[in-house]
Every structure is written in C-alpha cells, then in structure tokens.
C-alpha cells in the first residue's frame, strides 16, 4: 500500500474495454469533477475516475501524506483494475500535480498526460493560505472553494451551484483535516527533476480566467514538447465550464499522437457554438 494512505482509493469506471483513461480531481472536489469527460470518453476508452485519499468516498490520509503518496495510490488503483496496461492521465490542479508524479514513477506506463488548472509554481504561498483558511473557517469553506474554481459569470449558474452542493453532500468528520493535510503537501514545490522526467506527449489546457493562466503558459516551457491550448473565459475547472471545448482539444491531441481510435465517428471533435 502507498505510504500514509490506509486502504484502496474509491473509483468509478465507465466502459470495460479500450485503453484505460485515468481522471484525477482538484481539491476540494472529488471524482465527479470529471462527470462530463468520463461519460464522453467512455465511448472509446475505459474511463476511471478516482476519489483521491481524503476526498469523496476514499479513506482519509495519514499525517505526513505527500503528492508522491497519492500518485502511488493511483497506480495501485490502475493496477487493480487494468493490470499492467498503459494509461492516459488527465489531472486538474492538485490532480495535475499527482499526475506528474505518476509519470515520474512509471514513465513507461503513461501514453499521454493532459493537465489543466495548473502552472509552473515554484512558490506555493496560496496553498498555505488555503490551509489557514480551512483551519479557521472549517467545512463552510469547501462550498466556497468549489465555486471559486469557476469564472465569476459561471459561479452564478444554478448548475454550477448544484455541483458544489453535490460535492459537499459527502462531507464527513475527516474532510477538513484531509483537505488541510493535502494543502500542506501541495505547499511543497515541485523539483526541476520532476519536470525533466516528463517525456510523454503532454497537453496543457488553461482557462483564460484561471488565476494560474500565466503560470500555465510558463509550465509549457518546463515540459519537453508540451502543447498548450486555451479555453477563453473559463476558470480553473475548464472541463466543467466548457466541456465541449476541453474534450475537443483532448480528442485533437490524442488523434495527433495516434491514441484516438480510428473507428471513432466524425462528430467526436464537434464543439458546437454555445457557451
């Protein structure tokens, strides 16, 4: 078992055939952050969305948990479901940091990496501030932070508010301590060796209204041959705020690298024209 993580991670799988596609959420969300993508991509892939330790239905992590520990627990989940199959990994924010560690731990098992809500962040004072806020404000902050992942116009949408309420329905006595523990882990900057270890096809997707947008552009220069796409007007949770654009960027990227099934329908990259 991964250090500091008691028990296997909870996950939901859609599809039983095809290349495994793993989805890693941000904090303070859970696996349902990816509800559109797991539904969409299960037409061609075996989609696996996990609750990281301390979130949703997974057990709370122990004191001292690290991002690398979460990455090891995710590999254990993949191994349990799909054996030694290579995977495509999506990660948002905290999930993107865990995804990068997964690549470093088992580069030969990763076909492609797709990250969002992230950036090159050599300093992590914001994680310390979130930790301090959870210590003083408690569980009430979780709903506010879920909303904070969306652009201001999106935060006013009933569907976005409903999503934030749904995530908070799974709050329990360990939720705050788990989020605090992960903010402590996230406060530790990534090493340059981590970035240099990423030698798989990589796509960075950033919302132009995301607070990490500028650092996301900087991240591209630290990951060899990384590709960069922008979702105009979207915030931190680009995959929910504009799923049709996020999914199309992913499909185009996977096609480019020979990772999207050749038999997929011609409408697989359709974006539509509605926000």
In a domain, 27, yes or no: yes
Mean pLDDT of the chain: 94
Which tens digits make up the pLDDT trace of 109-120? 999 999 999 999
In a domain, 174, yes or no: yes
Q: What radius of gyration do the chain's Cα atoms show?
A: 17
In a domain, 240, yes or no: yes
In a domain, 4, yes or no: no
Residue 253: which CATH number?
3.40.50.1820
Which tens digits make up the pLDDT trace of 32-56? 999 999 999 999 999 999 999 999 9
- In the structure, what pLDDT confidence band is assigned to residue 266 with cuts at 50, 70 and 90? very low
Query: Phi and psi for 188 in degrees, rounded to 5?
Result: -85, 120
Candidates 187, 192, 265, 198; CA nearest to 227 is 198
Which tens digits make up the pLDDT trace of 77-104? 999 999 999 999 999 999 999 999 999 9
In a domain, 2, yes or no: no
Query: Phi and psi for 7 in degrees, rounded to 5?
Result: 100, 160
Query: How many independent structural domains does the chain possess?
Result: 1
CA distance 4 to 6: 6
CA distance 169 to 203: 32
CA distance 22 to 74: 9
In a domain, 141, yes or no: yes
Q: Residue 16: its pLDDT value, please?
A: 82
DSSP 28-59: S--GGGGHHHHHHHTTTSEEEEEE-TTSTTSP
In a domain, 28, yes or no: yes
Structure tokens at 226: 């990384």
DSSP state of 267: G
In a domain, 1, yes or no: no
User: Residue 93 belongs to what domain range?
Assistant: 10-269
CA distance 242 to 248: 10
pLDDT > 70 in the chain, percent: 95
């Amino acid at each position: 078992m991964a250090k500091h993580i008691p028990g296997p991670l909870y996950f939901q799988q859609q599809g039983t055939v095809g290349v495994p596609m793993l989805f890693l959420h941000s904090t303070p969300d859970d696996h349902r952050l990816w509800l559109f993508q797991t539904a969409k991509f299960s037409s061609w892939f075996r989609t696996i969305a996990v609750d990281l330790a301390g979130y949703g239905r997974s057990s709370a992590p122990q004191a001292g948990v690290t991002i690398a520990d979460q990455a090891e627990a995710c590999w254990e989940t993949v191994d349990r479901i799909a054996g030694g199959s290579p995977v495509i990994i999506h990660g948002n924010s905290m999930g993107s940091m865990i995804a990068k560690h997964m690549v470093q731990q088992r580069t030969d098992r990763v076909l492609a990496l797709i990250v969002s809500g992230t950036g090159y962040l050599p300093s992590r004072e914001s994680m310390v501030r979130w930790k301090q806020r959870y210590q003083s404000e408690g569980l009430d902050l979780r709903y506010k932070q879920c909303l904070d992942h969306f652009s201001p116009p999106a935060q006013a949408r009933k569907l976005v508010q409903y999503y934030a309420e749904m995530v908070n329905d799974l709050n329990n006595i360990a939720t705050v301590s788990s989020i605090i523990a992960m903010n402590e882990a996230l406060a530790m900057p990534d090493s340059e060796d981590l970035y240099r270890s990423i030698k798989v096809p990589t796509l960075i997707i950033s919302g132009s209204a995301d607070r990490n947008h500028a650092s996301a552009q900087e991240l591209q220069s630290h990951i060899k041959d990384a590709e960069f796409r922008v979702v105009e007007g979207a915030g931190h949770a680009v995959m929910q705020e504009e799923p049709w654009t996020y999914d199309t960027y992913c499909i185009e990227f996977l096609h480019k690298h020979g990772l999207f099934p050749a038999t997929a329908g011609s409408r697989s990259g359709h974006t539509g024209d509605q926000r």
